[in-house]
């Protein structure tokens, strides 16, 4: 049980680092680390399929896309980087305190588990859920992907000077 | 013609007709004016035809049940027919007057639409037997008065229109909350059902207070009266129709309809309301004596005379109630006439400040004489109708034992004489400050003379309105 | 048929007035003829109706209000007197108003007010009496207004004063209905204790306002200058007196049960004596013929009120007799004033003088009526004043003293007037003045003759007109006609008159001309200060009342502006404060939105958990 | 086959986005119009066979059945009307056909999302459809790509993503208790499960997520910025229906049918409703910008809906739904007028406007109708729905809430009269006098405003029939 706690703490530190990290690259790395930690957690909570998804998609694919996108962007000059980091540091200096405070309160109150979760370990694994139970949501995912694509087209396409 | 169809015609003709008027207005100006007059006078004629059946004690009523208790009920009892006849007569004369008055100004279509719609909603309100539809027509008149006060579209005018609209709607909302309290007790909005439930039991004070706030704001009595003088900037037929003769009578009518014919007020209110009325009468009479703008003086005088009507209704004496009903008729005629004369003077001399006017009697004799006649009727000088109504309101105050209030109203009546004579002298007598203006249009002067002559006729042949009012009071008090 | 004969006194004059109204202005002769014929017709009618007891009533309206007329001795007498004087005045004004532009309007108003006075006197219901009573406001305003360019101010003043009086009357009538439940004058018997007292005060104020006594008198002197002269001769001199004193006597005799030693009669007597003394002293110092006469009209009312106020048979008979006498000589004096004004062109005593030679008939009529007003023995004024003095003496010496002072000053002022106008050598150059036209002289001569007749043979008016009003039991079996019984009083009166003559002689010798005969009184140390103040309207209740109401209305206007301020400024300020607070919630930075949302979620969750678990 | 409502637009978009460009641009508008009018037609005649018989194999394929009851009929109707209005307005405000093609695609996706929310019976797919609408609205808000739009979109994105995270988290927690995610299953499971803190926590954050989406007061920060930043066509859509469907309808559906009503939730809703009425109205009173004022006003009107819903009685909920419909109509009417004014004057700053009803009479008079209906002035629709809510409040004994709600409509009247006075009623200021093309905008604006005004008037005047036909069936749903 304590390993889970440690993993959770690691995850929070990684997220804090992503948020407060100076350059975008560091932020993507931080994101990748959090995904890895989450997938390890999932393994521990014996839901392997979800963990595999998490690892491959979030840690792998998304990080690659982010890194490629960032590489296209003109990197900040050193001087600007310092200004940006100082500004971020100033803005988020209270964030860690806040997180710790929240952790203490949660711990102190103690999330009550006064009931026995009944259906956690349902037998069917991800595949059956995905295809048989939640087929309609697939439809939803398709629409979201289309919306995302359209959004990218609308927002980021330069307006050709006709 | 069965009474039911007459009743339906009185209400529906102006309401529906109002929307035809602007359409016809596109075609021809003249036709639209005549059409507007036709709609208004049809409802007048229909209400006249309703009088014999009302007098015979038969209450014709139309009821269509709607969900949630908002059923559409029209009852033509004596009080309703009396109010309908009075307001539709005054409106038809005013519409006749506005043919020549409004022709000088833009957006005339909207004017006629609103005036005819106003009369329609007035008829609806007067005949409605259900609190919700009473409230609907009440708000409809507030919308109309908002559009009409802002008729000249100047910035200040629109500001005043909004002020009037806000104050009256605030009062209406308070009244709606009062209605809901009553609905809570009786479970229905129909006046007859409410009347049964409140046979002996006095109404909860909170409901009375809230409804009173609505009534006082609509009839411009003391705490809520400032919107009426400010609305003096509207065109004269509007101020005549809305702020003198008909709109301000709505509050008083609802007071009679609710607090006299439907449920009974307990004794404390019969002392409190006259006090409010007394302060309002004195304050507005004082203000009228000091004010210099012609229309504002007359508006303040309306506030003061409305307080007299409230006195009559609220003193729990039968003679007072009959007196107030007569007062509504006489004051409507006279005050309408005063505002229309003010309109003629204002249109010809382009001057509103009475200190800069004078000597108009030489060039506008007929207007001056009718103005004087209406002034006498408001003061209560005998051959004119105002005398009987003022006497009976006084007698009502005295017979209900409140002699102190009667003496304060005596002082109010003296102030009335003072400011009305001051007004007449400043406008028509004395030397003219170079502003010599003739009264151009025959139509306007004849409508003003109609008012003066009818006031005189009401004074001399007081028997007919008196008996009608007395019968209405007997019917209201359930005797 | 007989009953609606009673309507004729009201309908005939109104019909005549409307007929004249129809005629265009230039048919002057026709208008004069119609008005004369109309008034003559009414005179005949009233003579015919005089001795009859009739009553007529339309179906009652409700709440005691009904249009009911009742002709009995007293109202018949008043209608007859009114018709008689209207006829004479119309005859007089046919000549007087010849070149005036407003003559048509004047006749219309005259006939209308005659109709109103007949209506008021005949009506047996308080409200229908009030209806006609207040109707006279309009004709009063109309008649003064047509007098001249500037006269509308006085017309307004008269209207307001009379209006206030009538409103008090209206309230009084309402209280009477409240107490007794009926408005029929003949059936009313109200004790004057408590609310009844208030009713008496109000009705009495209405009556004396109409009669033109002290607190409500100030419009009459102004009207003397501004209003057309026939108006002064007919309304303040006769109509007002007739109607006012008629109603006052109906109040004190019929409507209220008043005993002689009650506070009500005391107030009446005080008002009467004050009016006598103050009005006549004001008259003394006047420099204008008509203003002097108008002040006398006010002081003579004081005698009537004093007489009726004593509630002693002698006093009441004296008061009523004085009423009819006063109407006679007062209107005749005004007619002489009119003649002087028409012929000499002015009524200002400084410019008048030596008219004796040129207008002998007017002079003779003036002497007769002046003598009768000052109470010189053979004339009617003497007998009625004696009766009033006898009544006053019975009730208290102070009232008798006031009557005597009044007599003295009246005599002095009329001596001054006669001397200044007729006897002094003429000051203005326009010497060749002709005598007034015959149509003006006839009414003067007729009335002067009547004054002599009512004086010498006073049992005729007393027995025929006055005494039947009180009826035998109230008179206590005494007959007041013939020589006054109390010879002591007669001696005192004669001595007073001689004193006035001596004082006049002394004044003339001291100050040179007749006009300045009363200078020594005018400039006496204390009196001069009061006279100057009174002359420019300092004590004028009308001005005081106006100032009070203007002051009140200024305060009321401030209060009204304060309420308006609340709407225009205060509510907007308050809403601005709240709006600023409400808008501070989203200041544009998304961070604050996030914080607000999270805090609110926390609050909601805690609230839900606490209350759900707790429940 | 209600699922067609969701599928056909999707296939349409896929088809349209295929390569041959010019053809699509012309037809996409009419395709969208056709779709929406079909939807309107079918929602009005709601007992037609379209709804009854299922779609055989498609339903089986998706293995999910959609629930259609009168509540969703009204919502579908509102969605169709408001999107139609937004479509016609966009035809004028977005001149470039290429841009408009993209706009219409996004609009269709948003419509799919909303339709999905309305007809779904499953909590998770509700979440998915919410996600779709949120995403497409973000892109729509940022459509003009200027700084202001991007900032507004960013705020909307942040807030709505917080909301969706909360919802997702609470669904996860609920899954601890219930086997599936469909409403009926969850409802049954929640009834049995003990009243434990975690479940209440889950319910709490779900409700707060909905409040953020609905833009109620403590959570309303993003709403004014998003509405003003969005292009006028989008702000119509947003104000008219998006926040209503995502926030309010979902709250009604979920609370009434899944979490179940108890006194605590009722008082919570009532308090939040009243709080947002007052704060929304007060904030609107001080606004200088027309669209911002209308945004605050929509917060305040949503407050009435929540207040109505909070009474818990069938009448109150029916009144709330009726007010959703009314509000959708007159709010989009006011936004259409605001768009017309902004188009003509170039800015929506109230101080620069004045006396516009001279030159734009139709916009002026329809905005009068919109104003009066929003304030609940009788003859119009707004009055009836407010009255039903107030009566429900009275019947359930909450006098204080009722009185404050009634008197709050004075505030509504104050700021809307302020708007009407500053913009339409009054004299034309100097600088607008000589503005060259200050005249009525064109059929794209006048037609929808007239239609919406007609709807408001007819619903107001023929209220009894409308009440029987639409509102009573809703009452019956909430009856159980």
3-state SS string for D62-74: HCCCCCCCHHHHH
Residues D377, D382, D385, D391: what is their CA dihedral angle, to the nearest 10 degrees? Answer: -20
The predicted structure's pLDDT at residue B338: 93
Sequence-distant (≥ 6) Cβ neighbours of residue C447 within 8 angstroms: C88, C328, C329, C331, C332, C335, C365, C369
CB count in 10 Å sphere of residue D77: 20
Question: Is A143 near chain D, with CB under 8 Å?
Answer: yes
Specify the pLDDT at position A125.
63
Chain B residues closer than 8 Å to D399 by CB: 181, 184
How many domains in chain D?
1
**Stretch 526-565 of chain C: residues touching chain B, C-beta under 8 Å:** 546, 549-550, 552-557, 559-560, 563-564
Contacts of D379 in chain B (CB under 8 A): 136, 139-140, 143
What is the C-alpha to C-alpha distance for residues B48 and B92, in angstroms, rounded to an integer?
A: 13
Q: What pLDDT does C51 receive?
A: 78
Report the complex ipTM. Answer: 0.88
Query: Which residues of chain C have a CB within 8 Å of the CB of D220?
Result: 585-586
Site from A139, A145, A152, A157 to mutate, D interface, most D CB atoms within 10 angstroms: A139
For B64, the 3-state DSSP assignment is strand
* D99 neighbors A160 (Cβ within 8 angstroms): no
Q: Could you tell me which of B389, B397, B395 has the C-alpha nearest to residue B416?
A: B389
CA distance A68 to chain D (A): 23
**Cβ contact B287–C552 (<8 Å):** no
Report yes or no: C600 at the D interface, CB cutoff 8 Å.
yes
Closest residue on chain B to C180 (Cα): B399
For residue D62, the distance in angstroms to the closest alpha carbon of chain B comes to 42
Sign of CA dihedral D355, D358, D359, D360: positive
Phi and psi, residue B410, nearest 5°: -60, -45
Tell whether D361 lies on the interface with B, counting CB pairs under 8 A: no
Q: Domain residues for C503?
A: 264-524
Domain for residue C165, yes or no? no
Map residue C434 onto helix, strand or coil.
Answer: coil
Report if residue C24 sits inside a domain. no
Helix axes C487-511, C380-395, angle to 10 degrees: 110
CB atoms within 10 A of CB B69: 17
Report CB contact under 8 Å: D139, A111: no
Say if D and A touch: at least 3 Cβ pairs within 8 Å. Answer: yes
Kindly give the pairing relationship between strand C256-257 and strand C190-191. parallel
Q: What is the pLDDT of residue A154?
A: 80
Distance CA A90, CA B434 (A): 79
In degrees, to the nearest 5, what angle opens at C-alpha A121 toward C-alphas A117 and A125?
145
Min CA distance, D361 vs chain C (Å)?
30
Among C272, C277, C257, smallest CA distance to C310 is for C272
Spans of chain B below 70 pLDDT: 1, 434-436
Domain assignment of residue C330, yes or no: yes
Neighbours of chain C (3+ CB pairs under 8 A): B, D
Cα four-point dihedral sign D3, D4, D7, D9: negative
Q: How far is B308 from chain D (nearest CA, A)?
A: 30
CB nearest C177 (choices: B288, B395, B403) = B395
Q: How far is CA C401 from CA C273, C388, C405, in A?
A: 9, 12, 6
Q: How many helices (H) and strands (E) does chain D have?
A: 24, 0
What residues of B are in contact with residue C163 (Cβ under 8 Å)? 379, 381, 414, 417
Residues in chain A predicted with pLDDT less than 50, given as ranges, are: 120-121, 162
Is D31 a domain residue? Answer: no
Domains of chain A, residue spans: 2-120, 122-162
Q: How far is C109 from chain D (nearest CA, A)?
A: 51
- CA C53 to chain B, closest CA, distance in angstroms equals 27
Q: Along the 480 residues of chain D, how does pLDDT read in single tens digits? A: 666 667 777 777 777 666 666 666 777 788 888 888 888 887 777 666 566 555 566 656 665 666 677 788 888 888 989 999 998 888 888 888 888 888 888 888 898 888 888 888 888 888 988 999 999 999 999 888 888 888 889 999 999 999 999 999 998 888 877 877 788 888 888 888 777 778 888 889 999 999 999 988 888 888 888 888 888 889 999 988 898 888 899 998 888 888 888 888 899 999 999 999 999 999 998 888 999 999 999 999 999 999 999 988 888 888 999 999 999 999 999 999 999 888 888 888 888 888 888 888 888 889 999 999 999 888 899 999 999 999 999 888 888 999 999 989 999 999 999 998 888 887 888 777 777 777 777 888 889 999 999 999 999 888 888 888 777 777 777 765
In CATH terms, the fold of domain A2-120 is 1.20.120
Report the relative pairing of strands B72-76 and B60-64 from DSSP bridges.
Answer: antiparallel
Burial track C49-83 (b if 16+ CB lie within 10 A, e otherwise): bbeeebebbeeebbbbbbbbbbbbbbbbbbbbbbb
Q: Which residue of B has its CA nearest to D419?
A: B162
Rounded CA separation B423/B295 (Å): 10
Q: How far apart are the C-alpha atoms of A159 and A157, rounded to whole Å? A: 6
Q: Search chain C and give the residue with CA nearest B391.
A: C170
Give how far the C-alpha of residue C340 lies from the chain's centroid of Cα atoms, to the nearest Å: 25
Residues of D in contact with A153 (CB under 8 A): 102
Q: Which of residues 137-196 of C touch B (CB under 8 A)?
A: 137-138, 145, 149, 152-153, 156, 159-160, 163-164, 167-168, 170-171, 173-175, 177-178, 195
Nearest CA in chain D to C587: D221
- D365 shares contact with chain B (CB less than 8 Å): no
The chains in contact with chain B, meaning 3 or more Cβ pairs closer than 8 Å, are C, D
Q: 3-class DSSP state for residue B62?
A: strand
pLDDT in tens, D197-245: 788 888 899 999 999 999 888 888 888 888 888 888 899 999 888 988 8
Contact (CB<8Å) C560/B283: yes
C599 chain-D contacts, CB cut-off 8 A? 218
The verdict on residue D448 lying in a domain is yes
| B395 close contact with C: CB closer than 8 A | yes
The size of the A-D interface in CB pairs under 8 A is 93
Total Cβ atoms within 10 A of residue A69? 11
Chain C hits for B418, Cβ within 8 Å? 160, 546, 549
Contacts C588 to D, Cβ<8 Å? 225
Q: How far is CA C61 from CA A76, C64, C125, in A?
A: 102, 7, 12
Residue A115 has its nearest CB partner, among D14, D142, D194, at D194
Backbone phi and psi for residue B130, each to the nearest 5 degrees, phi listed first: -125, 135
What are the E-state strand segments in D118-160?
none
Using CB atoms, pick whichever of D136, D178, D179 lies closest to residue A147: D136
CB contact under 8 A, D204 and C609: yes
- Check CB contact under 8 Å for A147 and D175: no
**Helix or strand (DSSP H, E) at B76:** strand B72-76
Q: Which of B 66-125 lie inside 8 A of C, CB atoms?
A: none
Instruction: Write the DSSP assignment of B11-30 as a string of letters.
Output: HHHHHHHHHHHHHHHHH-HH
CB of D285 less than 8 A from some CB of C = yes
pLDDT at residue number A123: 54
Residue D313 domain boundaries: 286-480
Yes or no, beta carbons of B383 and C135 under 8 Å apart: yes
Measure in Å the smallest separation between the Cα of D46 and chain C Cα atoms.
Answer: 38
Q: Say which residues have a Cβ less than 8 Å from residue C455's Cβ, sequence separation at least 6.
A: C372, C378, C379, C380, C381, C382, C383
State the first-to-last Cα distance of chain D, in angstroms, to the nearest integer.
26
Per the CB < 8 A criterion, the answer to whether D105 and D28 are in contact is yes
Strand partners, D122: D182
Burial of A120 (0-12, 13-18, 19+ CB in 10 A): exposed
The domain tally of chain C equals 1
Low-confidence ranges of chain C (pLDDT < 70): 1-3, 426-432, 477, 514, 614-615
| Residue D171 counted as domain residue | no
Spell out which residues of chain D touch residue B68, defining contact as CB-CB under 8 Å.
315, 388, 391, 467
The residue in chain C having the minimum alpha-carbon distance to the alpha carbon of residue D292 is: C583
CA–CA gap between residue C3 and residue C49 (Å, rounded) = 11
- Mark yes or no for CB contact C198/B403 under 8 Å: yes
**Is residue C590 within 8 angstroms of chain D, CB to CB?**
yes
List of chain C residues whose C-beta atoms are within 8 Å of the C-beta of residue B288: 553
Residues of chain A with Cβ-Cβ distance to D128 below 8 Å are: 137, 140-141, 144
Note the pLDDT of residue B96: 92
Axis crossing angle, helix D290-310 with helix D222-229, rounded to the nearest 10: 130
Task: Judge contact between C31 and C20, C-beta under 8 A.
Answer: yes
Helix, strand, coil percentages, rounded to 5, for chain D:
80, 0, 20
Q: What is the pLDDT of residue A112?
A: 63
Output the CA–CA distances (angstroms, integers) from residue B194 to B180, B185, B201, B212, B294, in the order listed: 12, 9, 11, 17, 44
């Amino acid at each position: 049980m304590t390993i889970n706690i440690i993993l959770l703490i690691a995850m929070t530190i990684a997220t804090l680092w992503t948020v407060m990290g100076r350059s975008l690259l560091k932020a993507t790395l931080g994101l990748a680390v959090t995904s890895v930690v989450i997938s390890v957690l999932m393994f521990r909570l014996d839901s392997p399929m979800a963990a595999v998804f998490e690892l491959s998609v979030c840690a792998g694919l998304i990080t690659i896309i982010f890194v490629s996108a960032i590489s296209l962007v003109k990197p900040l000059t050193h001087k600007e980087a310092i200004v940006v980091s100082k500004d971020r540091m100033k803005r988020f200096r209270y964030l860690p305190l806040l997180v710790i405070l929240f952790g203490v309160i949660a711990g102190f109150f103690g999330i009550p588990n006064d009931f026995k979760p009944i259906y956690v370990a349902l037998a069917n694994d991800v595949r059956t859920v995905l295809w048989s139970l939640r087929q309609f949501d697939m439809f939803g995912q398709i629409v979201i992907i289309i919306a995302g694509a359209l959004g990218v087209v609308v927002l980021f396409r330069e307006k050709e000077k006709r | 013609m069965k009474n039911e169809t007459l009743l339906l015609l009185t209400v529906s003709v102006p309401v529906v007709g109002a929307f035809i008027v602007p359409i016809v207005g596109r075609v021809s100006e003249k036709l639209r004016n005549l059409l507007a007059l036709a709609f208004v006078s049809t409802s007048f004629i229909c209400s006249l035809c309703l009088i014999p059946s009302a007098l015979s004690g038969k209450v014709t009523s139309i009821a269509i049940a709607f969900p949630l208790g908002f059923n559409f009920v029209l009852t033509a009892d004596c009080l309703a027919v009396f109010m309908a006849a009075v307001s539709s007569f005054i409106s038809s004369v005013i519409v006749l007057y506005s043919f020549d008055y409004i022709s000088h100004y833009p957006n005339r279509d909207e004017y006629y639409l609103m005036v005819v719609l106003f009369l329609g909603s007035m008829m609806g309100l007067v005949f409605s037997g259900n609190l919700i539809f009473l409230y609907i027509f009440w708000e409809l008149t507030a919308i109309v008065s908002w559009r009409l006060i802002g008729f000249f579209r100047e910035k200040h005018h629109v500001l005043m229109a909004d002020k009037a609209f806000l104050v009256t709607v605030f009062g209406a909302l308070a009244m709606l909350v009062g209605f809901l309290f009553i609905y809570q007790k009786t479970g229905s909005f129909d006046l007859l059902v409410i009347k049964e439930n409140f046979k002996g039991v006095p109404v909860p004070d909170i409901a009375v207070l809230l409804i009173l706030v609505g009534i006082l704001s609509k009839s411009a009595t003391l705490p809520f009266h400032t919107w009426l003088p400010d609305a003096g900037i509207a065109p004269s037929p509007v101020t005549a129709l809305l702020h003198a003769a008909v709109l301000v009578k709505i509050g008083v009518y609802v007071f009679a309809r609710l607090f006299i014919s439907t449920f009974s007020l307990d004794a404390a209110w019969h002392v409190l309301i006259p006090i409010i009325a007394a302060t309002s009468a004195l304050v507005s009479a004082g203000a009228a004596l000091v004010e210099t703008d012609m229309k504002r003086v007359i508006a303040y005088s309306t506030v003061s005379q409305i307080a007299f009507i409230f006195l009559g209704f609220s003193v729990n004496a039968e003679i007072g109630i009959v007196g107030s009903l007569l007062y509504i008729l006489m004051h409507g005629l006279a005050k309408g006439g005063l505002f229309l004369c003010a309109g003629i003077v204002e249109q010809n001399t382009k001057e509103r400040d009475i200190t800069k006017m004078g000597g108009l009697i030489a060039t506008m004799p007929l207007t001056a004489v009718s103005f004087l006649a209406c002034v006498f009727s408001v003061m209560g000088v005998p051959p004119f109708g105002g005398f009987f109504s003022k006497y009976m309101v006084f007698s009502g105050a005295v017979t209900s034992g409140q002699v102190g209030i009667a003496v304060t109203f005596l002082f109010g009546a003296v102030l009335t004489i003072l400011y009305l004579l001051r007004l007449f002298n400043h406008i028509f007598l004395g030397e003219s400050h170079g502003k010599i203006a003739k009264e151009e249009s025959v139509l306007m002067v004849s409508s003003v003379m109609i008012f003066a002559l009818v006031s005189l006729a009401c004074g001399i042949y007081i028997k007919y309105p008196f008996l009608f009012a007395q019968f209405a009071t007997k019917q209201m008090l359930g005797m | 048929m007989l009953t609606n004969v009673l309507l004729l006194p009201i309908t005939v004059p109104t019909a005549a007035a409307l007929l004249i109204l129809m005629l265009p202005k230039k048919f002057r002769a026709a208008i004069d003829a119609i008005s004369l014929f109309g008034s003559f017709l009414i005179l005949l009618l009233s003579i015919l109706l005089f001795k009859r007891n009739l009553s007529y009533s339309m179906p009652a309206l409700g709440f005691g209000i009904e249009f009911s007329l009742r002709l009995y001795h007293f109202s018949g007498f008043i209608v007859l007197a009114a018709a008689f004087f209207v006829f004479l005045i119309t005859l007089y004004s046919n000549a007087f108003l010849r070149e005036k532009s407003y003559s048509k309007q004047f006749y219309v108003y005259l006939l209308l007010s005659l109709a109103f006075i007949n209506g008021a006197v005949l009506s047996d219901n308080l409200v229908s009496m009030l209806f006609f009573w207040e109707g006279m406001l309009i004709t009063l305003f109309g008649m003064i207004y047509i007098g001249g360019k500037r006269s509308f101010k006085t017309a307004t003043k008269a209207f307001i004063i009379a209006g206030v009086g009538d409103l008090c009357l209206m309230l009084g009538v309402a209280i009477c209905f409240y107490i007794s439940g009926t408005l029929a004058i003949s059936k009313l018997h109200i004790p004057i204790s408590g609310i009844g007292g208030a009713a008496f005060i109000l009705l009495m104020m209405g009556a004396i306002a109409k009669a033109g006594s002290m607190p409500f008198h100030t419009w009459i002197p102004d009207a003397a200058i501004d209003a057309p002269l026939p108006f002064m001769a007919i309304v303040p001199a006769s109509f007002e007196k007739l109607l006012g004193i008629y109603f006052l006597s109906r109040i004190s005799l019929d409507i209220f049960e008043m005993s002689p030693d009650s506070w009500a009669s005391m107030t009446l007597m005080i008002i009467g004596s004050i009016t006598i003394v103050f009005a006549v002293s004001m008259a003394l110092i006047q420099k204008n013929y008509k203003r002097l006469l108008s002040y006398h009209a006010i002081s003579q009312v004081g005698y009537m009120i004093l007489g009726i106020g004593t509630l002693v048979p002698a006093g009441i008979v004296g008061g009523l007799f004085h009423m009819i006498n006063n109407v006679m000589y007062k209107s005749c004096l005004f007619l002489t004033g009119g003649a002087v004004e028409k012929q000499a062109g002015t009524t200002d005593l400084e410019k008048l003088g030596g008219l004796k030679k040129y207008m002998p008939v007017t002079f003779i009529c003036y002497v007769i009526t002046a003598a009768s007003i000052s109470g010189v023995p053979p004339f009617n004024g003497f007998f009625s004043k004696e009766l009033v003095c006898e009544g006053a003496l019975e009730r208290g010496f102070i009232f008798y003293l006031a009557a005597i002072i009044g007599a003295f000053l009246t005599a002095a002022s009329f001596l001054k007037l006669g001397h200044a106008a007729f006897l002094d050598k003429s000051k203005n150059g326009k010497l060749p003045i002709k005598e007034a036209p015959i149509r003006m002289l006839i009414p003067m001569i007729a009335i002067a003759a009547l004054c002599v007749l009512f004086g010498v043979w006073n049992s005729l008016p007393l027995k025929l007109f006055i005494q039947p009003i009180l009826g035998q039991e109230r008179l206590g079996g005494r007959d007041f006609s013939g020589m006054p019984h109390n010879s002591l009083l007669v001696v005192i009166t004669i001595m007073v008159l001689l004193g006035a003559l001596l004082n006049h002689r002394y004044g003339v010798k001291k100050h040179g001309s007749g006009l300045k005969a009363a200078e020594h009184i005018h400039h006496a140390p204390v009196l001069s200060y009061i006279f100057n103040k009174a002359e420019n309207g300092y004590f004028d209740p009308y001005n005081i009342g106006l100032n009070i109401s203007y002051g009140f209305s200024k305060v009321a206007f401030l209060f009204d502006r304060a309420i308006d301020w609340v709407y225009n400024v205060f509510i907007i300020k308050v809403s601005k404060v709240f709006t600023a607070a409400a808008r501070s919630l989203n200041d544009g930075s998304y961070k604050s939105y996030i914080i607000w949302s999270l805090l609110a979620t926390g609050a909601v969750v805690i609230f839900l958990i606490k209350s759900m678990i707790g429940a | 086959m209600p699922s067609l409502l969701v599928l056909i637009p999707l296939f349409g978009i896929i088809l349209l986005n295929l390569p041959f460009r010019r053809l699509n641009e012309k037809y996409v508008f009419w395709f969208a119009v056709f779709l929406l009018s079909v939807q309107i037609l079918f929602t009005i005649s709601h007992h037609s066979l379209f709804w009854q018989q299922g779609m055989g194999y498609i339903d089986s394929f998706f293995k999910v059945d959609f629930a259609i009851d009168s509540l969703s009929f009204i919502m579908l109707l509102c969605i169709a009307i408001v999107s139609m209005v937004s479509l016609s307005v966009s035809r004028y405000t977005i001149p470039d056909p290429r841009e408009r093609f993209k706009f219409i695609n996004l609009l269709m996706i948003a419509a799919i999302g909303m339709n999905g929310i309305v007809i779904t019976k499953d909590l998770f797919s509700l979440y998915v459809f919410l996600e779709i609408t949120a995403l497409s609205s973000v892109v729509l808000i940022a459509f003009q790509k200027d700084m202001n739009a991007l900032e507004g979109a960013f705020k909307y994105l942040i807030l709505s993503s917080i909301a969706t995270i909360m919802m997702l988290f609470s669904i996860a927690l609920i899954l601890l208790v219930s086997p599936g995610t469909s409403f009926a299953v969850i409802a049954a499971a929640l009834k049995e499960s003990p009243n434990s803190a975690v479940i209440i926590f889950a319910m709490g954050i779900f409700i707060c997520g909905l409040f953020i989406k609905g833009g109620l007061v403590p959570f309303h920060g993003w709403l004014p910025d998003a509405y003003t930043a969005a292009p006028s066509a989008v702000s119509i859509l947003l104000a008219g229906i998006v926040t209503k469907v995502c926030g309010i309808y979902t709250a009604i559906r979920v609370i009434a049918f899944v979490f179940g009503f108890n006194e605590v939730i009722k008082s919570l809703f009532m308090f939040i409703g009243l709080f947002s009425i007052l704060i929304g109205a007060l904030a609107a009173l001080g606004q200088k910008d027309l669209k911002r004022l209308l945004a605050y006003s929509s917060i305040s009107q949503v407050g009435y809906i929540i207040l109505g819903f909070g009474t818990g009685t069938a009448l109150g909920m029916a009144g709330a739904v009726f007010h959703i419909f009314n509000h959708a109509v007159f709010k989009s009417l006011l936004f259409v007028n605001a768009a017309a004014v902004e188009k003509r004057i170039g800015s929506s700053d109230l101080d620069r406007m004045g006396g516009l009803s001279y030159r734009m009479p139709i916009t002026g008079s329809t905005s009068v109708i919109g104003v009066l209906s929003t304030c609940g002035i009788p003859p119009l629709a707004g009055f009836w729905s407010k009255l039903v809510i107030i009566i429900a409040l009275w019947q359930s004994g909450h006098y204080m809430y009722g009185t404050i709600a009634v008197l709050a409509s004075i505030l509504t009247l104050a700021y809307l009269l302020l708007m009407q006075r500053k913009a339409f009623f009054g004299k034309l200021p100097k600088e607008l006098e000589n503005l060259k093309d200050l005249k009525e905008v064109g059929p794209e604006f006048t037609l929808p405003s007239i239609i919406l005004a007609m709807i408001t008037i007819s619903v107001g005047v023929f209220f009894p029939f409308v009440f029987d036909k639409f509102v009573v069936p809703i009452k019956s749903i909430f009856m159980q």
